[in-house]
Structure 1
């Protein structure tokens, strides 16, 4: 939530009253004078004071899910189960994993964070474990490092391909990307004439999928993990 949203809708201030408070240095966030009405605030990370009186801030929701195959990355769907069906509060996924991809998915009700994190400008790394139906070689590693061009002329930023195991029938690798184009990893391999048979996201930014979460399970993020994501999105706390 932005500071001005809190002051206008939670504290019921007028725009003029809000701006007078800011101009008079009456608002402090984590003991720092606030001059930017658009700053993002969250009760997990911030203490807000107005004329030295503490304010009760809303705490956003932040979750990590081990998404299983079969769920779609949406808030609701008329026909198919979604990643949000198990949650009582209104949240949404940060980015997307397609229906047949599994692994680490982040969910939140923080609009600014969910908007910023997938943007290529912030270069947040997403790491995938992938299996393909053929041989991976140093040639594909070099192609990924240069940047893959999809059929149709869409160009991907350079990516890191690390071969784990390779033979003529099947290869396993780890792929690191900083974008989030539609079906990007699968299309990257199609561009080098290989078909993805298994895809799992194992890391998003600094957060890694651990053995504590079985497919379909989720947990709330810790304060330290929330701070890591705010750092990735260059949000102030």
Structure 2
């Protein structure tokens, strides 16, 4: 009786394993149809809707450090990035236990009395938020000359002070990340990390194949050479709608590429940033990132 029972269970387990194996071997979604990709520089498609890949890696758990650099403490408190914190330190706006500190690299304890411009700083919980930025909003945390800023859209989002990771100019729409995690912000904006960005561009006239090849191979701008990682027509019948992938964070770089070749950018929409898309986020709306998305960003 026991042997027959065991054989039955073994048989079922084998069937389940075989089923899982077959499903694993057939995994992977087919690429979205209807868009013809022209690969010009390297074999990279334009994933206009792409989710953060699932990883089975278990993040290491570590205790919060009792000592850290002063600029990191300021960034973790949600004031600004570490690079900006260095400027505030040099300007004499930061005190530690009542003493002004202007030396970069100063180490502090997490229980020290650290103040920025007279305001005591405390370690806040980390917040990660994604906005689908509308047109005519300035990407800044504080600009007395701006009629509307992106922070106006997030006033009720959370009590923590968050700030944008990178910039989108006033007329550009699309994916914009906000956080008070200064370390992550620095990583995602530093040129050495080559963070991928994808834009949808609407031009005033059709883009020629010749100019598309120039964009892929590289052109010389006033601040140096630049080349797209990938570029394509979004619709083969409408050559004024272009998808371009680029990792450079230089100011107004996408607009300047097309203006250099004699085109006027009518609309510019960032549809992809560091693995994040604006899927299911209406223009002007926002959402918090999932824990899986945060872990994915921290792996970059």
- Please give the TM-score of this superposition, normalised by the length of structure 2: 0.57
Which of the numbers 84, 87, 94 marks the counterpart of 2:151?
84
In structure 1, the gaps of 5 or more residues are: 14-56, 233-237
Gaps of 5+ in 2: 1-63, 74-106, 114-122
1:10 aligns with 2:78: no
- CA–CA separation in structure 2 for the residues paired with 1:229 and 1:128: 19
The runs of at least 4 aligned residues of structure 1 exceeding 2 Å deviation read 2-13, 85-89, 165-168
- Cα displacement string for residues 173-224 of structure 1 (whole angstroms, at most 9, x for unaligned residues): 11100111111000000111111000000000211110x2111111111111
Shift of 1:149: 1.7
**Do the aligned partners of 2:201 and 2:265 also contact (CA within 8 Å) in 1?**
yes
Matches of 1:148 and 1:105 in 2, distance apart?
A: 27
Aligned to 1:34: none
Tell me which residue corresponds to 2:234.
Answer: 164
Which shows bigger deviation, 137-146 or 170-179?
137-146
What is the match of residue 40 of structure 1? none
Separation of aligned partners in 2, 1:225 and 1:162: 27
Checking the alignment, whether the CA contact within 8 Å between 1:61 and 1:109 is kept in structure 2 is: yes
Aligned to 2:216: 145
Provide the C-alpha distance between the structure 2 equivalents of 1:60 and 1:147, rounded to a whole number of angstroms.
39
**Which residue number corresponds to residue 67 of structure 1?**
133
| Distance in 2 of aligned mates of 1:62 and 1:114 | 10
Cα RMSD between the aligned structures?
2.3
Find the residue that maps to 1:84 and give its secondary structure.
helix
In 1, Cα distance between the equivalents of 2:223 and 2:137? 30
Measured in 2, the distance between the counterparts of 1:92 and 1:99 equals: 16
Please give the residue correspondences for 1:89-128 in structure 2 after superposition, counting only pairs within 5 Å: 89-128=160-199
Whole-Å separation in 1 of the counterparts to 2:225 and 2:283 = 33
C-alpha separation in 1, matches of 2:272 and 2:264: 22
Distance 1:103 1:110 in 2: 21
Q: How many pairs does the alignment contain?
A: 185
**60 and 130 in structure 1: CA distance in 2 versus 1, 3 angstrom threshold:** same
Residues 27-66 of structure 1: CA deviation (Å, up to 9, x unaligned): xxxxxxxxxxxxxxxxxxxxxxxxxxxxxx8521111000
Asked if 1:130 is matched to 2:196, the reply is no
Q: Decide which of 223, 228, 231 is 2:296's aligned counterpart.
A: 228
- Secondary structure of the structure 1 residue equivalent to 2:151: coil
Whose helix fraction is larger, Structure 1's or Structure 2's? 2
